[in-house]
Chains A and B, each alone.
Chain A
Amino acid sequence: MLEIKNLHVNIEGKEILKGIDLHVRAGEIHAIMGPNGSGKSTLASAIAGKDIVEITEGEINYMGENLKDMNPEDRARKGLFLGFQYPVEIPGVSLVNFMKTAINENRKFKGLEPISASEFLKMMNEKQELVGLHAKLTSRSVNEGFSGGEKKRNEIFQMAMLEPLLAILDETDSGLDIDAMKIVANGVNKLKRSYNATILITHYQRLLDYVIPDFVHVLYKGRIVRSGEKELAQELEEKGYEWIEEEV
């Protein structure tokens, strides 16, 4: 599904990623861990196609296509979803309106008619329930005045609505209390299918108590320095990132 080969990325002329290799297959959950500044969010931005990211070497292949010249909206329409670490506020645009626009753009891309009002409403209700998003939030402006937890839950809600093939959740667990984190984790687990995949980017191990990853990768100074199964996260939790620093 996703194949990253020797990816080097610059941001504003500074090399942040220094040769990443990553292979994600359908049905898998990968966790990418690492200390602050290791390049986790840059990797997410590179996959999603943010324009400050400059790929200097290597490539990202998604569903057999090189993403090099594909704009971010087409990547999204082909099933790539990024849950933002800092979800953006859009004043005056209700979440309902935003979601409806997004869903219809995605449908248009697939050659489908716009979604009917009743079908859309039904879907909204279902997914709200799934992630425990309060109904009142959907009529409010996108992320405006949302608490930190509500913002993150909203990201999971949007993921549920858009039903992506590959979801990258960038620190979706940060700033959440344990109950909110369980809800996020629950959402991820419920949405897991044999045909989709998830990449969890996280600083802490605790999310991985609720979402069991198939693979764990440790990103350090722009390189994946260790890969393993879920036990690696446990080891990292016990020994701390200093352990990695010493090893490297």
Chain B
Amino acid sequence: MNASQDKLLAKVTQADYKYGFYTDIETDAFAKGLNEDVVRQISGKKNEPGFMLDFRLKAYSHWKTMKMPEWAHLTIPEIDYQDIIYYAAPLQKPTLGSLDEVDPELLRTFEKLGIPLEEQKLLSGVAVDAVMDSISVKTTFKETLAELGVIFCPMSEAIREYPDLAKKYIGSVVPYTDNFFAALNSAVFSDGSFCYIPKGVRCPMELSTYFRINMANTGQFERTLIIAEDDSYVSYLEGCTAPVRDNNQLHAAVVEIVVLDNAEVKYSTVQNWYPGDKNGKGGIYNFVTKRGLCKGDHSKISWNQVETGSAITWKYPSCILKGNHTTGEFYSVAITNNYQQADTGTKMIHIGKNSRSTIISKGISAGHGQNSFRSLVKVLKTADNVRNFTQCDSLLMGDQCGAHTFPYIEVENDSAVLEHEATTSRIGEDQIFYCNQRGIDTENAIGLIINGYAREVLNKLPMEFAVEAQKLLQISLEGSVG
């Protein structure tokens, strides 16, 4: 590494996480700790119907019998689940008539995050649900969507207002028995987004949720449910940030998607939780279960993710391809820099005939980062003529980081055609020098090379997200070439 790169590295690693501010806002929070009473109180706060409380209590008692999964290629310090606050909400008036009534501090927070919360900014065409700590603060564009019959609201509201849908679908794709973190989430989830696209409706705007953990010692357990009825389409975006803190914070979300005949859901995430400092202190533990069910024939789910944040990521957005002629896609860029760890990938479960899946994963490891790609492609006996294409690329920057791949394939039907490609490469000094020699400085050269490497995935993101994601990739990696 030469002197100018050293300087650049120092500059970047000493730069602050841009979203690391804390908003001083009045908060209604429970005491630390978890027991049956806490579960009941959360349900009570939300005025939930009885079935929801039952679901939570069952999940809680099941969770108590479970242990944290240890199979991932991660080093996770012990987590004291009694040292976490399970419910925190910005204090506000019970119902809000207009934005004027929202706490101005809160609005400033979302302004800093660049969320177009104010109605006039919504001309940009993105409907936003903002979730701070445990509750959904404001859902915009609700009326426009309502005309089409699209429901886009906080999960807590959906449970109260549309109990039939909630009862039918919550836990139908990710049961509370699924895994340790899904069980925990099922017991204590406090809010999240709910999205229902009725038959034949092509949602005219991107639906978007911004998650923000603000309070210290708080866990965020949001739950998202998307239902796309026959012949419908929606593109859904999710963004995440958190303040800089010395201690680790837990984020254990569940996302469930149900897609019926000929419907399509595109789910895009730009995950930028606080990753910890350059020595690995602090940062979010991001233990998330995301799964979609292609229930109807000819249905499609596409997961697109750009993962730059979190101290530890454990996340496998998956597709159950139950219908015939269904399509599952997973496009991912995951960066680990400094002491970040990520074990991420996908599962494609082929049940329906002629189902297809594509997995494109681009891992980037820098600093002391450890990046693992884990995938399962499973073809059941019933699934004739399945096609899968998997491509898993790893890029290494420097010599202290690691890239690991764990692809699993289980095929019970001989007609399946599966392809798997994998590459490992390095950002070369030669590539950087070539750019330098054309007048492009090292910082921009890295941005150019990384964005080129991740282009296949970035191309899948909606326009406004793609621009943000490109910048984020560059910021996350500047100066890490050695």
- Residues on A lying within 8 angstroms of B by beta carbon are 48-51, 71-73, 76-77, 81-82, 84, 87-93, 97-98, 101-102, 105-106, 109, 141, 158, 162
Contacts and interface: CB of A to CB of B under 8 A. Distances in A.
Contact of A50 (B433, B451, B453): B433
23 contacts: A71-B4, A73-B437, A73-B439, A84-B437, A87-B434, A88-B431, A88-B434, A90-B431, A90-B435, A91-B453, A92-B451, A92-B454, A92-B455, A93-B451, A93-B455, A101-B440, A101-B444, A105-B440, A105-B444, A109-B439, A158-B438, A162-B438, A162-B439
Interface string B413-454: 000000000000000111101111111111010001101111
B456 interface: yes
B2 interface: yes
Interface of B: 2, 4, 428-431, 433-442, 444, 448-449, 451-456
B439 A102 contact: yes
B368 to A, nearest CB: 24
B440 A102 contact: yes
Given A51-B2, A88-B428, A88-B431, A73 B451 contact: no
| Chain B facing A: main interface SS | helix
Contacts of B449: 90, 93
Nearest to A161: B438
B394 to A, nearest CB: 13
B331 to A, nearest CB: 14
Nearest to A78: B439
A101 B448 contact: yes
A109 B436 CA distance: 13
Interface hub of B430, B436, B438 (most chain A Cβ within 10 A): B438
Contacts of A89: 431
A77 B439 contact: yes
B438 A76 contact: yes
B439 A105 contact: yes
A106 B439 contact: yes
A88 B439 contact: no
A76 B439 contact: yes
Given A72-B437, A88-B434, A93 B448 contact: yes
Given A51-B2, A84-B434, A88-B428, A105 B441 contact: yes
A168 to B, nearest CB: 10
Nearest to A109: B439
Interface hub of A102, A106, A109 (most chain B Cβ within 10 A): A102
Nearest to B427: A90
Interface hub of B4, B435, B441 (most chain A Cβ within 10 A): B435
Contacts of A77: 439
A133 B428 CA distance: 26
Contacts of B444: 101, 105
B448 A48 contact: no
Contacts of A48: 437
B422 to A, nearest CB: 15
B434 A73 contact: no
Nearest to A77: B439
Contacts of A84: 434, 437
A125 to B, nearest CB: 20
Given A88-B428, A90-B431, A76 B437 contact: yes
A82 B433 CA distance: 11
Contacts of B453: 91-92
Contacts of A162: 438-439
Contacts of B455: 92-93
| Pairs of residues from A and B, 7 with the lowest C-beta to C-beta distance, nearest first | A92-B452, A93-B452, A102-B438, A72-B436, A92-B455, A88-B434, A76-B439
